[in-house]
């Protein structure tokens, strides 16, 4: 892969000039964008392999919680065996559990290059919460956040073969050991995001608070490039409240606005190429041109909070205003806008491919299509 060799030399040159390492990637070609699948029937709300099993109440401490955990673990075990599975379990009392400690279990699915040592990879981190709100009874939380979980499963499934090819080619060339080479990806499915009584610092984000604290205190060997697992997160993309029609996702943080622009540009290019099904009044990500001075401290509390307060860069992909169905019985499968759901699955998948620099292993179908012409 000559492109990689050149980029290695380029990075070395940058180091010589004492410039901080940069991770640069090539935008996906139009033809690569065209190949990205939407997930189609796998998002069917009755029978869809990815989404349907999550559309049940899944409150911590109930059988629904265990059923969806099994759904995620079975999926990765059976379809994506190269991904590691880690559980991060904790317990906590809640304002409605009396003296009972409820179980919370975050799941982390991760793929790193085979050559990295512990703590050596930088990790594109994609996250969503899988628990559901305790009241109203029977609440499903389709947008909150069953759909985001299913989207991340779809993304993992599609990027997997490209990761394998990239690792194989880089191993064959003896590459690895630079920031640009040692890229991995992890998907965090959080438990216990929802409050049990009313949202507060202690009644919310049970799983994410426990995980951020644990990672902050898990030190890598001395002299590691990254101090702890939090430091390995190249960007933390949190999906929440997605699946309703006409969403608006604002750009919330100037620090990660460049990543927002990358996501927005993918949406824009996909719309121009007529690859998306939804026809919203305006783009899902309308703030590509936001000026630095326009950023206000608009902060929406969510699972990123324990991470952002520890310095992790965040891209918060949350619909704001919230969907009309938010925290009502209408947040169910029937009220999802399926074209929007499928479009999100394409956009997020393309973002992950681009971040991981997968033009290096652009499929031959994409190249062939561009060479053949009309
Ligand atoms: C975490 O809890 C789940 C059930 O909620 C269990 O299946 C799993 O084995 C536990 N893992 C660890 C490492 O304790
Ligand atoms: Zn919620």
CATH of the domain at 84: 3.40.630.10
How high is the pLDDT of residue 373?
A: 44
Q: How far is the first Cα of the chain from the last one, in angstroms, to the nearest whole number?
A: 29
| 15 assigned to some structural domain | no
Distance 313 CA to ligand 2 centre (A): 22
Q: Respond yes or no on whether the N-terminal peptide bond of residue 321 is cis (omega within 30° of 0).
A: yes
| 80 assigned to some structural domain | yes
| 195 assigned to some structural domain | yes
Give the residue carrying structure tokens 């975050």: 106
Strands (DSSP E) along 222-341, which ranges?
233-240, 314-318
Residue 131 appears among annotated catalytic residues: no
| 301 assigned to some structural domain | yes
Distance 193 CA to ligand 2 centre (A): 7
Q: Which regions in the chain score pLDDT beneath 50?
A: 1-22, 371-374
Q: Report residue 158: phi and psi, to 5°.
A: -80, -35
How high is the pLDDT of residue 374?
A: 42
CA-based nearest residue to 141, from 68, 42, 71, 92: 68
Tokens (6 digits) for 48 = 């869809």
How high is the pLDDT of residue 139?
A: 98
Atom 3 of ligand 1, residue of closest alpha carbon: 105
Please name every residue paired with 187 in a beta bridge, in sequence order, or none if there are none: 109, 126
Are 116 and 182 a contacting pair, CB within 8 Å?
A: yes
3-state secondary structure 75-127: HHHHHCCCCEEEEEEEEECCCCCCCCCEEEEEEEEEECCCCCCCCCCEEEEEE
Domain count, the chain: 1
Are 14 and 22 a contacting pair, CB within 8 Å?
A: yes
d(CA 16, CA 33): 36
Rounded to the nearest 10 degrees, what angle do helices 338-355 and 147-172 cross at?
Answer: 30
pTM equals 0.92
| 1 assigned to some structural domain | no
How high is the pLDDT of residue 369?
A: 54
Tokens (6 digits) for 154 = 């779809």
Distance 243 CA to ligand 2 centre (A): 13
How high is the pLDDT of residue 153?
A: 98
Strand order in the sheet with 314-318: 84-92, 102-111, 183-190, 122-129, 233-240, 314-318
How high is the pLDDT of residue 230?
A: 98
Query: Which residues form the domain of 280?
Result: 28-372
- E strand or H helix that includes residue 253: none
Distance 144 CA to ligand 2 centre (A): 5
Atom 9 of ligand 1, residue of closest alpha carbon: 87
Residue 194 appears among annotated catalytic residues: no
Q: How many residues does the chain have?
A: 374
Please name every residue paired with 326 in a beta bridge, in sequence order, or none if there are none: none
d(CA 194, CA 205): 6
87, 88, 101, 130, best to mutate for ligand 1 pocket (most atoms within 8 Å of CB): 87
Atom 11 of ligand 1, residue of closest alpha carbon: 87
Q: Name every protein residue with a CB atom under 6 angstroms from any ligand 1 atom.
A: 69, 87, 89, 103, 105
How high is the pLDDT of residue 8?
A: 35
> Ligand nearest 326 Cα, by number?
2
CA-based nearest residue to 207, from 371, 37, 89, 49: 89
| 11 assigned to some structural domain | no
- What pLDDT, in 10s, does the model give residues 11-68? 333 333 333 444 568 999 999 999 999 999 999 999 999 999 999 999 999 999 999 9
- E strand or H helix that includes residue 183: strand 183-190
Catalytic residue, from 131, 193, 331, 354: name it: 193
Q: Taking the CA atoms of the chain, what radius of gyration do you get in angstroms?
A: 20
How high is the pLDDT of residue 1?
A: 30
| 14 assigned to some structural domain | no
Contacting residues for 274 by C-beta, under 8 A, at least 6 apart? none
Catalytic residue, from 182, 231, 240, 357: name it: 240
């Amino acid at each position: 892969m000559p492109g990689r060799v050149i980029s290695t030399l380029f990075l070395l040159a940058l180091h010589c000039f004492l410039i901080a390492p940069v991770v640069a990637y090539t935008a996906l070609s139009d033809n690569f964008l065209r190949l990205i699948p939407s997930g189609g029937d796998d998002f069917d709300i009755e029978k869809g392999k990815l989404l349907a099993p999550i559309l049940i109440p899944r409150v911590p401490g109930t059988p629904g919680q265990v059923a969806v955990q099994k759904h995620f673990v079975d999926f990765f075990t059976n379809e994506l065996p190269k991904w590691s599975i880690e559980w991060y379990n904790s317990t906590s009392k809640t304002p409605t559990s009396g003296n009972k400690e409820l179980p919370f279990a975050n799941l982390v699915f991760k793929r790193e290059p085979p050559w990295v040592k512990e703590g050596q990879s930088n990790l594109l981190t994609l996250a969503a919460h899988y628990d559901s709100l305790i009241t109203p009874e029977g609440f499903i939380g389709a947008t909150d956040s069953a759909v985001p979980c299913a989207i991340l499963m779809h993304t993992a499934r599609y990027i997997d073969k490209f990761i394998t090819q990239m690792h194989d080619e880089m191993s064959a060339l003896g590459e690895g050991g630079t920031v640009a080479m040692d890229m991995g990806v992890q998907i965090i499915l959080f438990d216990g995001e929802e409050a049990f009584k009313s949202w507060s610092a202690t009644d919310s984000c049970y799983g994410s608070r426990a995980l951020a604290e644990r990672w902050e205190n898990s030190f890598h060997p001395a002299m590691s490039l990254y101090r702890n697992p939090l430091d390995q997160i190249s960007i933390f993309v949190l999906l929440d409240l997605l699946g309703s029609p006409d969403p608006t996702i604002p750009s919330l943080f100037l620090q990660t606005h460049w990543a927002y622009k990358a996501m927005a540009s993918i949406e824009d290019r996909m719309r121009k190429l007529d690859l998306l099904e939804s026809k919203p009044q305006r783009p899902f990500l309308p703030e590509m041109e936001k000026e630095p001075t326009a950023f206000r401290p608009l902060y929406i509390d969510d699972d990123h909070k324990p991470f952002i307060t520890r310095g992790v860069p965040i891209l918060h992909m949350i619909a704001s205003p919230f969907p009309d169905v938010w925290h009502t019985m209408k947040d169910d499968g029937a009220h999802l806008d399926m074209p929007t759901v499928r479009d999100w699955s394409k956009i997020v998948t393309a973002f992950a491919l681009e971040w991981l620099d997968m033009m290096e292993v652009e499929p031959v179908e994409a190249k062939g299509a561009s060479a053949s012409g009309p």
